[in-house]
Amino acid sequence: MVKYYLIDAEILFSRSPFVKDQAEKFSYVKPYHVLEQSSNNQEEVLVAMPDNLIGKNVVIEINSDDIQKFLIFYSSQLEVQVNEALGVLKVFHRDTMEPLPRVYVKIFSKAKSGAENFYKDGFTDITGKFEYANASGKSLNEVDKFSILVCDREYGSTINEYKNLAEGATDSRPVHEKAKRYGTAARGAYGGGGGGG
């Protein structure tokens, strides 16, 4: 049996930014769509997304006699490339690989103590770049990992988690200053480009 639960990516993210650890909570909610699927004793079965769910963000629950699995699926045309060493991401259109400016980015951090807090938000610059680890008044030293929502009205949403690997987490310089020093590495990581931000 396959169950589908509709989600609003930004609302879900704001309530539970590290939702990857909490998807099973949807098992207590009435599903939007249920599909009976027989495996016919096959090891692998491909299940097409129901027509009424194409283009929507959903949590998918898969149940069989001995397993229960959850998967969060985001309908998205976004390609997000992250340089964790610099705490920088770039957003592209998945098909054309054109950089996308003015894409909304929202970040929560999880401290080493386990506390979850809003970290920063904003929009990608003209090159599609956003410095997610650089936040005024925030210390990288206490951050264990980030959860990042990238959201565009036309091209959809993605949510991913990243460890805090920002270069020199104990270095008090702003990330954008460190990015200048490591500009060559950053350009290589993004296949050229850079600038702005």
pLDDT digits (tens, 9 = 90+) for 38-69: 766 666 778 888 888 888 888 888 887 778 88
Q: Is the pLDDT of residue 20 over 50?
A: yes
**166 to each of 92, 108, 146, 170, 193, how far by Cα in Å?**
22, 15, 11, 9, 20
CATH number of 78-189: 2.60.40
Confidence (pLDDT) at 91:
98
Q: Is the pLDDT of residue 32 over 80?
A: yes
- Quote the percentage of the chain above a pLDDT of 70: 76
Q: Is the pLDDT of residue 118 over 90?
A: yes
pLDDT digits (tens, 9 = 90+) for 74-98: 889 999 999 999 999 999 999 999 9
Confidence (pLDDT) at 14:
87
CB 143 within 8 A of CB 170: no
CB 65 within 8 A of CB 143: no
Confidence (pLDDT) at 181:
41
Residue 131 CA to residue 144 CA, distance in Å, equals 17
Question: Where is 184: in which H helix or E strand?
Answer: helix 183-189
**14 to each of 21, 92, 97, 137, how far by Cα in Å?**
14, 23, 28, 21
Stretch 186-193: mean pLDDT: 42
Please name the residue that has the structure tokens 């309530």. 15
**109 to each of 95, 132, 197, how far by Cα in Å?**
30, 10, 21
Binning pLDDT at 50, 70 and 90, where does residue 173 land? very low
pLDDT digits (tens, 9 = 90+) for 144-162: 999 999 999 899 999 999 9
SS3 content of the chain, % helix, strand, coil (to 5): 20, 35, 45
Stretch 23-35: mean pLDDT: 74
Nearest residue to 197 (alpha-carbon basis) of 80, 70, 86, 41: 86
Q: Structural domain boundaries of the chain?
A: 2-73, 78-189
Residue 187 CA to residue 192 CA, distance in Å, equals 5
Averaged pLDDT of the chain: 80
